[in-house]
Amino acid sequence: MPARRLATVDCLRGLAALAVAWYHCTNGSGAICGGWIYRSGQYGWLGVEMFFVISGFVIPHSLHKAGYRSSDFGRFLIKRIARLDPPYFACILLCLALSYLVTLAPGFRGDWPHYTWGQLAAHVAYVNSFVHLRWVNVVFWSLGIEFQYYLLIGLTFPLLVARSAVRFGFLAVLLAISALIRDDALLFRYLPLFVAGMLTFQSRAGVISTRALLVGLAATAVGGPTACVGIATALVIRFVELPSSRLTNFGLLSYSLYLLHVPIGGKIMNLGGRFAHGTPAIAAVLAVAMGASIVAAALFYRLVELPSQKWSTAIGYGSRLSDPVR
């Protein structure tokens, strides 16, 4: 693992991706309608909340280490696009291909796939949720939220490291907005999670004290499991230092696994569920679905994501190095 990566963050990424994949494989198809296997995945959606906290921390942490300035905003967006869009577009093509291929499977009972050019074009700017057009892959909605966050943090990052009154005022405004605007298609609803990550960045950077961090995290608590997972993720990033290991290395696959588990694992669950009867058979199909998703993610990472990651890293801010943490 490159020395500049944070092993704890990679571990959390891996766990978050596994949680979401388990959720969709156990709760996202008609193959499992109850029982302990179904219940084991009921809260896996919280992995998305973990990703939002992680992004809230990682992006300002990277910008701070790179000496980011407001004039670098355009280059910052190019770097994000270079890092995330090639795997994203490759996944879109894979989803389209598989949606037609599965119609050839024996006993196919689903709807015939139908996509419009407008629906596909909306993916380019991550605006499907805005214009009420179905995503090709159900997990893409969170990428739209992440892209809105990139716009926000790229424009406002200097406020996070400004004098105390400005820093606290900025975060207070974000939390106030999150309470007023609850549209699922907009970033604002999820701002408490991103703010938890921002506070963690400020604490690690020495901008705020541990006491201020804890008070700030308490202010981000939106109730229920989301608040618990958000605060726990922030505290682990701040106070837990893990050594590099196979577990942390698995986090390198998190984005690829997040993209692929529905078109790969979900399809296996839908197909296998037609023939599997009883808990042991369902568990076997689930194991195949998860295993195939992880293998596909490893290949996808090597062939698609890693080249785009290197491309993004090569784009610096002027003469300054960038992306201490990717």
Instruction: Give residues with Cβ within 8 angstroms of 35, minimum separation 6.
Output: 279
Q: Is residue 2 part of a domain?
A: no
**pLDDT tens for each residue of 165-180:** 999 999 999 999 999 9
Supply the pLDDT for residue 1.
38
**pLDDT tens for each residue of 179-211:** 999 999 999 999 999 999 999 999 999 999 999
pLDDT cut 70: percent of the chain above it: 94
Supply the pLDDT for residue 324.
47
The yes-or-no verdict on residue 267 having pLDDT over 80 is yes
Take residue 324 and report the two structure tokens written for it. Answer: 């201490």
Supply the pLDDT for residue 3.
43
Which residues constitute the domain of residue 32? Answer: 7-314
> How much is the average pLDDT of 2-12?
82
The yes-or-no verdict on residue 212 having pLDDT over 60 is yes
Supply the pLDDT for residue 91.
98
The yes-or-no verdict on residue 268 having pLDDT over 60 is yes
Taking residue 164's Cβ as centre, other Cβ atoms within 10 Å add up to 10
8 A C-beta contact, residue 75 and residue 301: no
Q: Is residue 202 part of a domain?
A: yes
The yes-or-no verdict on residue 121 having pLDDT over 70 is yes
Q: Is residue 239 part of a domain?
A: yes
**pLDDT tens for each residue of 270-291:** 888 777 788 888 999 999 999 9
pLDDT cut 90: percent of the chain above it: 78
Q: Is residue 106 part of a domain?
A: yes
Number of domains the chain contains: 1
The yes-or-no verdict on residue 109 having pLDDT over 80 is no
Q: Is residue 325 part of a domain?
A: no
Q: What is the DSSP string of 78-144?
A: HHHHHHHHHHHHHHHHHHHHHHHHGGGSTT--SPPP---HHHHHHGGGT-HHHHT---SSTTHHHHH
Q: Is residue 323 part of a domain?
A: no
Q: Is residue 257 part of a domain?
A: yes
Taking residue 224's Cβ as centre, other Cβ atoms within 10 Å add up to 9
Q: Is residue 326 part of a domain?
A: no
- Residue 180's alpha-carbon distances to 171, 174, 176, 194, in angstroms, are 15, 10, 7, 16
